[in-house]
Amino acid sequence: ETGVTQSPTHLIKTRGQQVTLRCSSQSGHNTVSWYQQALGQGPQFIFQYYREEENGRGNFPPRFSGLQFPNYSSELNVNALELDDSALYLCASSSGGVQETQYFGPGTRLLVL
Amino acid sequence: GQQLNQSPQSMFIQEGEDVSMNCTSSSIFNTWLWYKQDPGEGPVLLIALYKAGELTSNGRLTAQFGITRKDSFLNISASIPSDVGIYFCAGQPSGGSNYKLTFGKGTLLTVNP
């Protein structure tokens, strides 16, 4: 176990709705990264939060947004859900330094109908 | 989004056999990582490589960071049934985007007891 927790474990939404996914980082970690993993693919980087600020973003539209809180937990928000947003959403925490290992949570499985 | 070229896509082997999989990239990476993902779980780090040419072992697993910094391989010796899962390589670049992991599509390993 990595100590990274995510909620909920599963979620079903319909097109156009909004969703919020949550992540609690491992104790002592101040950095959280979010990834989207479509079926049969490797994880794709969405964005990273370091000390409550966005620290980098992948090739995802602005309807994907996030927050990090003072306790370093994080939220991923997706607005105007599309069918292609169906995926496993993973968060990973790290201590933020160069070459610091990212430890992944179990993920949230999102299905958009 | 960008993904690494990981091969083979899948392998079906007998218990006790050795396994080899590799990953190539058109970009240079500062760090190469190998993760294993079981169904319903997030990726778990197996081996991290930080230096070109580095050869690192973790039990029955051995991985190498290619001299060109554009490739890596993972070997598993004397496979056992619990080695079943999806193996992902991931690269972490140097410089300003060192937060971002780029993943391969994964190698699905099946071990026949």
Q: Which chain A residue has the Cα nearest residue B93?
A: A99
| Kind plus residue range of the DSSP H or E element containing B34 | strand B31-37
Cβ contact, residue pair A104, B35, below 8 Å: yes
Does the distance separating the beta carbons of A90 and B43 come in below 8 Å?
Answer: yes
Which H or E run includes B93? none
| Residuewise pLDDT in 10s, chain B (113 residues) | 567 999 999 999 999 999 999 999 998 998 999 999 998 889 999 999 999 999 999 999 999 999 999 999 999 999 999 999 999 999 988 665 557 899 999 999 999 99
What's the distance, Cα to Cα, between the start and end of chain B in Å? 37
Of B30, B42, B48, the CB nearest to A106: B42
Residues of A with Cβ-Cβ distance to B1 under 8 angstroms: 44-45, 58-59
Q: Is B103 on the interface with A (CB under 8 A)?
A: yes
Question: For the sheet containing B61-65, what is the strand order?
Answer: B5-7, B19-24, B71-76, B61-65, B55-58
B9 to chain A, any CB pair closer than 8 A? The answer is no
pLDDT at residue A101 in the model: 81
Task: Find the radius of gyration of the CA atoms of chain B.
Answer: 14
> Per-residue pLDDT tens for A38-71?
999 999 999 999 889 998 899 999 999 999 999 9
Kindly determine whether residue A41 and residue B105, on different chains, have CB atoms separated by under 8 Å.
Answer: yes
Tens-digit pLDDT profile for residues A78-113: 999 999 999 999 999 988 665 578 899 999 999 999
DSSP state of B70: S
The confidence score (pLDDT) of residue A45 equals 94
How far is Cα A36 from Cα B42, in angstroms, rounded to an integer?
11
Phi, psi of A110 (to 5 degrees): -110, 130
Of A52, A45, A44, which Cα lies nearest the Cα of A25? A52
